[in-house]
Amino acid sequence: MNEATNTEIILYQNWILRLRPAVPESSTKILLMLHGWTGDENSMQIFQRDLPQEYWIFSPRGPIQTPEGGYGWIGHRPGREATLQAFLEPASALHQLMNQIRRDYSLPNQPIELMGFSQGAALALAYCLAYPDQVIKAAILSGFLPFLPADYQPPAALANISFFVAHGSEDEIVPIERAYETVEFLKNANAKVHFCHSPVSHRISSACFRELTRFFAR
């Protein structure tokens, strides 16, 4: 396990986000981590503990306060209202955030990596669909593909992204059928996909956790 790197919570461009600087700070690798429904900027810390220290890790708080407490990215849970169109606004806001971060932290304009859990995973997929040239790798954890228009055609550049999809077969919040849909969609778009599933609920099993770590170590 890597030694813990100093992290801090900052107010940045009207965002509250948790920042873990890279070691060394001259590294140019960026990982954007997106929490799920009722989460916040601290929720994704468990996933970053074994990640290489060479990543700059940014974990923003979602803009919508949820009725249950915590925050989200769109005002819906994973029902039919969770369309690609609904996720494009927060995806655009995050894209602008990353551009500002690159300028302020003197990081080059190169593709970033994404990790999202549940609703944050759906947002990560939407980001990949909207800005495929800006992503090189994405982890989709207990998530779902936003509902797409009937005539939707994925961007050709999606084929250049490597995806890690992890899901629990006993997930009662986001059924595993949504993961199968995601994997089929990505493979049909010629993207590189690694799928890990285990008999757990709305979380990531220890086996998939180890594979997730290897995915970002490669």
Span 32-59, pLDDT tens digits: 999 999 999 999 999 998 899 999 999 9
pLDDT of residue 79: 63
Burial label for 161, CB within 10 Å (0-12, 13-18, 19+), is buried
* Contact call for residues 59 and 45 (beta carbons, < 8 A): yes
What does the pLDDT average to over 145-157? 96
Angle separating helix axes 119-130 and 84-104, nearest 10 degrees:
80
pLDDT of residue 77: 66
Query: What residue ranges define each of the domains in the chain, with the CATH number in brackets?
Result: 8-217 (3.40.50.1820)
pLDDT of residue 81: 76
Q: Is the pLDDT of residue 1 over 70?
A: no
Which residues have CB under 8 Å from 26's CB, separation 6+? none
pLDDT, one tens digit per residue, over 59-99 is 999 999 999 999 999 987 666 679 999 999 999 999 999 99
| CA 6 – CA 169 distance, rounded (Å) | 35
Give me 137's structure tokens: 């790798």
